[in-house]
Each structure stands twice: as structure tokens, then as C-alpha cells.
């Protein structure tokens, strides 16, 4: 890889993301509101549950594990590619974080636990009780899994090793997302949107960088 070219690619992505964060920092005059239980999507109603601290902690752990997975690429990639991989991964996480922040700024939606006695969970008192959509944990977890999987294809030619690792990475991200629902922090549509953001971010940054600036 051309390290300098890749750095220019990541800087270009960062410039675009600055606009996203500027929009996400605007006052939360949401374009859409889901304030009443009657307005909860039918698809989501079955999954409503009260807050669970142990499940919340487990979801945090799986999210961190998913985000750490790309470090395993250092075992496959040549040393001269390490900096470029790190820069592209940082860009993917940055894009994922920016898109989910923009979504939360535009859409005001109560978390499921708010319908079970209020914010008694990990986000109590943080002002995030009405920032359910989309799920930031799902976005970051799937960004890590997608980036890891897309880059692993470049460095691991053995499908007997590659396929189980890719499956495990997405299983970890899916588990983290499912636990966000089970913990009462999110609705299924929240984590679905977050997963879509993560998959897009994990693919877009390396693809755009490599297409524009080469291997």
C-alpha cells in the first residue's frame, strides 16, 4: 500500500465527517419523534423490556471485542501496511460515529427502558433517554467486524482460516446488537439501523481509499 496516499484518503474522509459532526452538534430539534407508546413500530413492540445492568455490561464487552478484532490483521499484514490499516480503520470508526451521531440529532426516540419506570439504567441522568435511534454500539461493532472481514480477504488466502474468522466477527457484532435489545437500551430497528451504518462505514472507507489511491 502507498502509505502517504492512504493518509490523504483518510484525511479526505475526515474532512467530509467534519460536516457530519457539525450537523450532529446542532440542538436536538428532531425531525421525527417517537414519544408515545402507541407510536412504537409494531415490529419493535415485542422486544420492549426493562433495563438490565448485567446484560448491558455484556453488550459493552462484546462491542469492545468487535472493535478490537481488526488488531488481528497485524498478524496477517506486512509491517509496512500496519500504519495504513490503522488509519483506514480509524476513518471507518470515525465515519460510523459521525453517522450515528447525526441520526441521534435528527431522530428523537425514547429508549425501551423509558417505558418501564424511566431511566434507571446505565444512561440514567445522562440525557440519552431519548436517543435510542440508531444504536451506536451496533454501529461500532459492525464497523469493526466489516472492516476486519473486508481487509482479511486481502491478506488471508486460505478460506479454511478466513471464513471462520469472518463468521466469528459478525457473530460477535450480532451478539452485541442483540444484547442491546435484551438490555432494554434499544429497539430492534435501532440496532438494525446501527448495523447498516457500521457495515457501510467498515466497507466504504477502505474501498474508497484503495480505489482512489491504489494498493
Q: Which residue range forms the structural domain that includes residue 52?
A: 3-11+47-120+129-213
Which has the higher per-residue pLDDT, 31 or 175? 175
pLDDT of residue 115: 86
For residue 33, being part of any structural domain is answered with no
Lookup: cell for 106: 435528527
**CA–CA distance from 106 to each of 14, 143, 174, 213 (Å)?**
21, 21, 25, 34
For residue 60, being part of any structural domain is answered with yes
Q: What is the mean pLDDT of residues 43-63?
A: 92
pLDDT per residue over 20-48, tens digit each? 544 444 444 344 444 444 568 888 888 88
For residue 24, being part of any structural domain is answered with no
Distance (Å, whole) CA 141 – CA 175: 10
Residue 135 CB partners (closer than 8 Å, separation 6+) = 100, 177, 180, 185, 186, 190, 191, 193, 194, 195
Cβ count within 10 A of residue 51 = 22
The C-alpha angle 114, 119, 124, rounded to 5 degrees, equals: 150
For residue 25, being part of any structural domain is answered with no
Q: Which H, E and C letters describe 199-212, residue by residue?
A: HHHHHHHHHHHHHH
For residue 153, being part of any structural domain is answered with yes
For residue 37, being part of any structural domain is answered with no
Tell me if the pTM is above 0.85: no
Confidence label for 118 from pLDDT (cuts 50, 70 and 90): low
Distance (Å, whole) CA 141 – CA 157: 25
For residue 205, being part of any structural domain is answered with yes
pLDDT per residue over 149-158, tens digit each? 999 999 988 8
**H helices of the chain, where?**
3-24, 42-45, 53-68, 82-106, 136-155, 159-182, 188-213
For residue 158, being part of any structural domain is answered with yes
DSSP code of 52? -
Q: In the chain, how many domains are there?
A: 1
Residue 137 CB partners (closer than 8 Å, separation 6+) = 59, 60, 63, 176, 177, 180, 185, 186, 191, 194
Check which CATH number belongs to the domain holding 187 and give it.
Answer: 1.20.144.10
Amino acid at each position: 500500500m502507498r502509505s502517504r496516499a492512504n493518509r490523504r484518503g483518510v484525511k479526505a474522509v475526515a474532512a467530509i465527517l467534519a460536516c457530519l459532526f457539525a450537523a450532529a452538534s446542532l440542538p436536538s430539534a428532531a425531525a421525527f419523534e417517537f414519544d408515545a407508546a402507541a407510536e412504537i413500530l409494531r415490529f419493535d413492540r415485542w422486544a420492549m423490556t426493562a433495563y438490565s445492568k448485567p446484560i448491558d455490561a455484556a453488550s459493552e464487552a462484546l462491542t469492545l471485542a468487535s472493535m478490537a478484532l481488526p488488531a488481528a490483521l497485524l498478524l496477517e499484514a506486512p509491517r509496512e501496511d500496519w500504519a495504513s490499516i490503522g488509519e483506514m480503520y480509524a476513518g471507518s470508526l470515525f465515519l460510523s460515529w459521525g453517522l450515528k451521531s447525526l441520526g441521534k440529532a435528527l431522530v428523537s426516540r425514547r429508549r425501551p427502558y423509558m417505558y418501564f419506570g424511566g431511566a434507571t439504567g446505565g444512561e440514567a441522568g445522562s440525557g440519552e433517554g431519548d436517543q435510542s435511534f440508531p444504536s451506536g454500539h451496533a454501529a461500532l461493532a459492525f464497523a469493526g467486524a466489516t472492516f476486519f472481514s473486508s481487509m482479511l480477504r486481502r491478506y488471508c488466502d486460505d478460506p479454511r482460516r478466513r471464513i471462520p474468522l469472518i463468521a466469528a466477527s459478525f457473530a460477535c457484532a450480532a451478539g452485541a446488537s442483540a444484547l442491546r435489545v435484551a438490555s432494554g437500551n434499544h429497539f430492534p430497528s435501532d440496532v438494525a439501523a446501527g448495523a447498516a451504518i457500521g457495515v457501510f462505514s467498515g466497507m466504504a472507507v477502505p474501498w474508497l481509499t484503495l480505489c482512489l489511491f491504489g494498493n
